Structure 1
């Protein structure tokens, strides 16, 4: 990274965003205490990977800390990720041009430095006996090579070596993700003589998955099919509904999964007329409505954070609007599927207004696309 102008621009944007964040976050004072403790734990080099922090309410502060450490100490493995998320935050605040510049910077850092740092991370992790992080670094190294356009035959060799390493250390989670990268490379190369056929690959992948991983994978497949309007949406939706749900499903990510599965069920009902899917869509809408109405009654207090049972969302001032947006779009899709076009247009318009008002850029795009289909 160059000195002078880029550093001053980053510092200015950083300070501006931190001011907004502190003013808008209910847990800001508590979060600052956590940040200070994190800085103590980071030590002098500041090269710990903050992406492993698992408190969603602090994610914005963590991203800013990644940027701050990179400017002050130099590159670390989390730097490209930090700048990409930082750019996304700035874009959501309304300055899309500035946000795009930081995303381009993140891409540049990824191309130039991130993979070398991941290789170093793997070696350092093995020296201290941290096999989990070493396996993750192996995986990230291969995926980084894929995205920056490395020679595919060389990449095949790297993935094969990573697969052997991760299998030997029995890290099933990273192995599943590596299989997806392996399949992408095989398709691009156009030669599967020395690899497993896709069906065999699926069987091998499913064999190492636990119940929670299978549920998350089925939801991920459903989400991609819905977003990309794939022909296999019905198949993916049925697979998701038939997957056994664990107790963790009731705590983490339940809202977004009900939201996506409800939208998928409505869309498939429009295509097939299957009454079962219509009932599933209405069930999802009812769940979302009940959560929105009863949020205050099920509040839990946890170390200064507000965690609402049954949804797994850390609540800030925008969470009510998140529930509202999901419910509006689900109602719009339900009315559209049942031929109530006037009501559907009303709900679509309301959802778009809500998304614009609160700068939910991704959701605004999704709603606008569905609204266009309705018209």
Structure 2
């Protein structure tokens, strides 16, 4: 055993995810590359079991115990005092419990915010003009409550500094942004799709706030028929309901589903261009979408909203940009369809190379997070 292994500190990462979930930075960063520096245990939750389980280095906790997570894990023989760091992902109620027990067990606390979900719900209601004075007051006090919890943490890990500034400014806590990135172990070269059509793929939900129907409207106006769109979404039934509004392109759109990350990567690899167009509002314009990293893992270039955040990392040589406007989307789709496969491949590889060379590489991010924690 090496000296490094003898002196490894321990880190517990409490996710907000169900067991068997492949999600974002959890697998490649926390349950992968970070293990070179720490002994890491990851906590998942389950709706379907009533017993605590250990699976390798993972713990599975019945969901009903999440608000009393410290006491529950202690009762199951997990020695929380053995951990140097306890991180919580997204859930303020779990964070509250971990903070309340910090002095008892002696760990440092980190809070990982992948996406401001409560704010997204509020923005969705606001977009429909469904907010009341009570809603606005509730949103304000929820934000203040979360800021209060944040101020007690040792480290805050938002998806981006811009997101922190927009939603959680002046929390007073040390910040270490952890954006979505690429897993070097998963990258593949660009592979041309079969046939003469340009294959687009959109990964994600089709909810009101994301306004994906604006993209569908744009496709109905494209003059060329040399294209196909794959929509990979977990809610296939809802996507099919949405597509009933667009019968003129129904034969040009396939609705597919990936049950795990491996399946998703195969679906992306089968296409030529990824779509990550989102409204240019703070909830989306303060962080580069995680789906962009999935696309560039397979070296396929991405069509994204032309805003300062996306431009801060990508350029016209490695990405496709347009305004979140039907006419502008139509124009960019038509130009993209006319691109040669060589042009598309060159752009995809350029973006992949750029991300791997930057912090958007989970192997590099693991080392930088280790250095950050050492200095706490």
Specify the TM-score bucket, using the shorter chain as the normaliser. under 0.3
Which structure: greater strand fraction? 2
Going by fraction, where is helix more abundant, 1 or 2?
Answer: 1
- TM-score, normalising length from structure 1? 0.24
TM-score, with length taken from structure 2: 0.24
* Higher RCO by CA contacts (8 Å cutoff, separation 6 or greater): 2
